[in-house]
Structure 1
Amino acid sequence: MSRSGEFCPRCGDEIPEGTDERPELSGAGGQRNSEHVLCDACYFEEFDLVDAPDTIQVRVCSRCGAVHKGNRWVDIGAEDYTDIAVEQVSEALGIHVDAQSVAWQVAPEQLDKNNIRMHAEFSGVIRGTPVTEEVTVPVRISRQTCKRCGKIAGGSFASIVQVRASGRDPTDEERERAEEIAQEYIAAREETGDRNAFITETKSVDDGLDMKISTNQMGLGIAKRITAQLGGSYSDSRRLISEDEDGQELYRMTYAVRLPRYRQGEIIDPEDGDGPVLVRSVQGNLKGVRLATGEDYEASFEEGETPDAQRLGFRDDAQTTTLVAVEDERAVQVLDPETFESKTVPRPDYLDTDADEVPVLKSHAGLHVLPAETDADE
């Protein structure tokens, strides 16, 4: 072995030649100093391949399961936090800067619900010498309450969405659908990572539905979606509730959703002399079909979705009866479903004259043939 003429500053042994790539003690200003190069024995005596923390705490929300990372809470949708523990241990471990060809693996050991022991094994090459090292890092799952769940538990909300209907109370189906629309909207926002999206409270009241929403923006979005899908309109009002740290005024918004007076599938009589109408749409101006002729009907611009009309019933109130005869292009005979007498009624265009039975609605306005189920919503 050739000699270098250099000596280890710790043990005094002469160091062989070929130390250019060997780790050394730093001199002033971090410059290489040949007097500070350690021999292999002294170098490996204090060498640590891995720098590992004594313990790691994983903060999770006991309510929603979110995990605290960095300075924020992150939704992961998991009940088993082993993968999260592996990830955080991996991020916390440090490998010696001089190590080459490093390989490692981590084996989690679940001790109980809140404690995991991480066994990590590392291998690498230092000064041409293969080295291995094993470390064990305890991980504790700390269950807390995230900021979002804290707000929900504390009843925090910034806006209210009130669902009502013009001239009537919303049906159970409309209330349920309005709540579903709100939940779907919030879920969509949550999927984008928006942790400010939540519904604090949903309450059914005598004349409709009230929902407390996390932010004004969410409340507005829900009001727009309900009217887009169920029809009607909405208005807003605001009330000053406080000021923030900068003196900015904070308002609580109320979005009053007003569902249409009439519902799809309802039969009304506009009393314009052309007979009852089966309502097919309440989006924009009310649209439907005349039961006497089968012609399309649309309320005027001024009437919108709530024209003045008498309520006669619903498509679901229809009864099936016998088509007795076709008198001419404008009239047919059907059996009255209550008295079983033969009655002459208007013949709408949608009537199938080859049918043996047809659906009819009997009301104080008379007896009318309805479209078949497959045609009712066309």
Structure 2
Amino acid sequence: MLHNIFYQSPHRQKFVRCVVCGKESEYRICGECLVEREKIAELEKFNLELCTKCNSVRIGKEWLRIDLEKAVKRLIIQNLRVSPNFDVHEVKLAEKFAILKGILNGDLVEFSLPLRYSVRRITCPRCSRESGGYYESIVQIRAFKRPLRKEEIERIKEIVNRSIMETDGEKDFISKFEFQRNGVDFYLGSRKLGEKVSRRIAEEFGGKISESRKLHTRIDGRDSYRFTFLVRLPEYEEMDVVVKDGTLYVVKNAHSGKGIDFLSGKHANVSNTEVAVKKSSLGWGIITNLDESSAEVMTEKGEVVVVQRPFGAEIGKEVYVFEYKSRSYAFPRDI
């Protein structure tokens, strides 16, 4: 009788020589002689189920994205019945045969079995859901008081795609992507993926997340919800001027919320601050004169303005110039 591949070998009896070939052996008949005389293994015909869209393979209850050779080997092991004294060490594939290598009655043996399987092409559950527009969560990306920049959208797409590739679960897919007036929406296959994506985007861009849910349907008497994750990115961008506790800062890193006080040179976290002047509204000029507390700047319009001496000021250095609450300010362009 043949047994499952993982069957433990029974206790061995001690013999001096093989009764067939006469060589020393711990068994009445050595493995090399036994494999020539007895059926050591049987391999049943099996089905190989392939997804027509993503080429994943069904192994048991799972759909796996593995190459065809690995899939066939795993299915061979699932459908293989072996003698209790044979421990399989390796499975190799030939054109129409499965080659088994292992230990039989103390000997390393190798033999082949006919390989018979049929290929069945169907759609896996993941692709079926994806093509049917299934989704459990929506991740909405917006920014305070401004539209998203093209570079931000491209980076956000990279974050979403990387998150999907890392998990590759049955519901980890993008069902739909939409441009909105001030941002973008991702319709995702699972709530868990929506949580992961929104958290990563907020961490990278310094944004805030708000979550809501809406009853979608009832399944087997249980409520099924769809979740919306709104990620709101900061209003400020790099080189914008923001105000925090009455002090003006230049945003140096919009993602981490780092800024610099352009008068003292001190760094600070400027997250959740108000934008005083956008970079696009800054003028420029050149420092023409300096003293201990002030600087004269010739602006691009040919006007001379006097400002409080900024950190890193030097005569001849190019600066950004702006007005805030009826006062003029300037800071070096390379701050």
Is TM > 0.5 for Structure 1 vs Structure 2? Answer: yes
Matched, 1:258 2:237: no
Q: Is the contact made by 1:85 and 1:139 (CA closer than 8 Å) also made in structure 2? A: no
Match of 1:163 among 131, 141, 149: 141
The equivalent residue for 1:75 is 65
- 1:279 Cα shift? 2.4
CA 1:335/1:153 → structure 2, altered by over 3 Å: closer, same or farther? Answer: same
Report which of the two structures shows the higher radius of gyration computed on alpha carbons: 1
Q: How do 1:259-278 residues align onto structure 2 when only pairs under 5 Å count?
A: 259-268=233-242, 276-278=248-250
Give the whole-Å Cα distance in 1 for the aligned partners of 2:76 and 2:267. 68
CA 1:136/1:318 → structure 2, altered by over 3 Å: closer, same or farther? Answer: farther
Matched, 1:370 2:324: no
Give the whole-Å Cα distance in 1 for the aligned partners of 2:278 and 2:101. 80
Structure 2, unaligned runs of 5 or more: 1-14, 20-33
Letter in 1 for 2:40: L
Give the whole-Å Cα distance in 2 for the aligned partners of 1:325 and 1:176. 44
Q: Is the contact made by 2:320 and 2:333 (CA closer than 8 Å) also made in structure 1? A: no
CA 1:135/1:208 → structure 2, altered by over 3 Å: closer, same or farther? Answer: same
Q: Is the contact made by 2:253 and 2:259 (CA closer than 8 Å) also made in structure 1? A: yes
% of aligned pairs identical?
A: 22
CA 1:74/1:335 → structure 2, altered by over 3 Å: closer, same or farther? Answer: same
The equivalent residue for 2:128 is 150
Match of 1:305 among 265, 272, 275: 272
- 1:155 Cα shift? 0.8
The equivalent residue for 1:350 is 312
Q: Secondary structure at the match of 1:239?
A: strand
Matched, 1:108 2:98: no
Give the whole-Å Cα distance in 2 for the aligned partners of 1:344 and 1:208. 41
Structure 1, unaligned runs of 5 or more: 1-17, 23-42, 110-116
Query: Under a length normalisation based on structure 2, what TM-score does the superposition of the two structures give?
Result: 0.72
Matched, 1:324 2:293: no
Q: Is the contact made by 2:259 and 2:268 (CA closer than 8 Å) also made in structure 1? A: yes
Letter in 2 for 1:49: I
User: C-alpha deviations, 1:270-294, integer Å up to 9, x for none?
Assistant: 895x6x531246679x763344554
Give the whole-Å Cα distance in 1 for the aligned partners of 2:264 and 2:165. 45
Give the whole-Å Cα distance in 2 for the aligned partners of 1:277 and 1:140. 69
The equivalent residue for 2:6 is none
- 1:249 Cα shift? 0.9
CA 1:325/1:68 → structure 2, altered by over 3 Å: closer, same or farther? Answer: same
The equivalent residue for 2:194 is 219
Match of 2:97 among 113, 118, 133: 118
- 1:171 Cα shift? 2.0
Give the whole-Å Cα distance in 2 for the aligned partners of 1:156 and 1:103. 43
Letter in 2 for 1:217: K
Give the whole-Å Cα distance in 2 for the aligned partners of 1:84 and 1:214. 26
Letter in 2 for 1:178: I
Count residues with an aligned counterpart. Answer: 304
Give the whole-Å Cα distance in 1 for the aligned partners of 2:265 and 2:109. 88
Give the whole-Å Cα distance in 2 for the aligned partners of 1:105 and 1:295. 66
User: C-alpha deviations, 1:211-237, integer Å up to 9, x for none?
Assistant: 112222322332232222212322222
Query: Under a length normalisation based on structure 1, what TM-score does the superposition of the two structures give?
Result: 0.65
User: C-alpha deviations, 1:145-194, integer Å up to 9, x for none?
Assistant: 2111111111111111111222222222232333333333333333xxx4
Matched, 1:208 2:183: yes
Give the whole-Å Cα distance in 1 for the aligned partners of 2:190 and 2:312. 49
Matched, 1:249 2:223: yes
The equivalent residue for 2:166 is 188
Give the whole-Å Cα distance in 2 for the aligned partners of 1:60 and 1:361. 64
The equivalent residue for 2:299 is 336
